[in-house]
A and B are shown apart, each in its own frame.
Chain A
Amino acid sequence: QKEVEQNSGPLSVPEGAIASLNCTYSDRVSQSFFWYRQYSGKSPELIMSIYSNGDKEDGRFTAQLNKASQYVSLLIRDSQPSDSATYLCAVSKGYNTDKLIFGTGTRLQVFP
């Protein structure tokens, strides 16, 4: 079992729809959770961070964390073609918040 798992996609959604990206992780004591967006040929860019159970909203983005079920998700409302990218889930390794384990990413395609 991979430490951080994401569906590779592509996830295709029409413009204006809600895109839902999911991530599961194996380490029960992980403390910090991040979503990064990566455009093709570019470096990852931080979208959201979340540290406690529940929802965290920032503009069109909502991160959801459920530590009991060991999953974290990212919702993108009113999806735009410019949201088309690979979304990386990153989870801290155990109690060590220095180290992050990255998923291999989900490719999102938003079509007009």
Chain B
Amino acid sequence: DVKVTQSSRYLVKRTGEKVFLECVQDMDHENMFWYRQDPGLGLRLIYFSYDVKMKEKGDIPEGYSVSREKKERFSLILESASTNQTSMYLCASRAGSQPQHFGDGTRLSIL
């Protein structure tokens, strides 16, 4: 079974903080993705990576950056957290053209 692990289920941070969300997969997948999910808006792609040190912007990259130094780990960084970044964040990975599999999600609250 595919295992995608997100470091925190719940996280509370303050406005202006730099926030790191970590995601690890154990299946040697090339592709990894970060989404946010908001009521009425569905899942929206923030960034994805198709190889180590490679990244591509998704549909809503503003205010976020990513890092992929090792194949198994994909980090999402909120450079200066704002209240409108309060959301559920979901990491996914996949091998080649296979379907994406999701981690458990991180519910992030910015106060």
Contact = CB atoms under 8 A, between A and B. Distances in A.
Interface of A: 32, 34, 36, 42-46, 49, 88, 90, 97-100, 102-105
Contacts of B48: 98-99
A99 B34 CA distance: 11
B8 to A, nearest CB: 14
Nearest to A46: B99
A100 B103 CA distance: 16
Contacts of A98: 31, 48, 50, 56
A104 B42 contact: yes
Nearest to B35: A102
14 contacts: A34-B100, A42-B104, A43-B90, A43-B104, A44-B90, A44-B102, A88-B42, A98-B31, A98-B50, A99-B45, A99-B58, A100-B100, A102-B42, A104-B42
Given A43-B103, A97-B97, A99-B58, A105 B45 contact: no
Contacts of A46: 99-101
A20 to B, nearest CB: 20
A40 B59 CA distance: 25
Contacts of A44: 43, 90, 102
Contact-residue size bin, chain B (C-beta under 8 Å from the other chain): 20 to 34
Contacts of A99: 45, 48, 58
Nearest to A36: B102
A100 B90 contact: no
Contacts of A34: 99-100
Interface string B26-58: 000001000000001111110010100000101
A7 B45 CA distance: 21
A105 B90 CA distance: 16
Given A99-B48, A99-B58, A105 B42 contact: yes
Nearest to B107: A41
A105 B43 CA distance: 10
Contacts of B100: 34, 46, 100
A36 B90 CA distance: 14
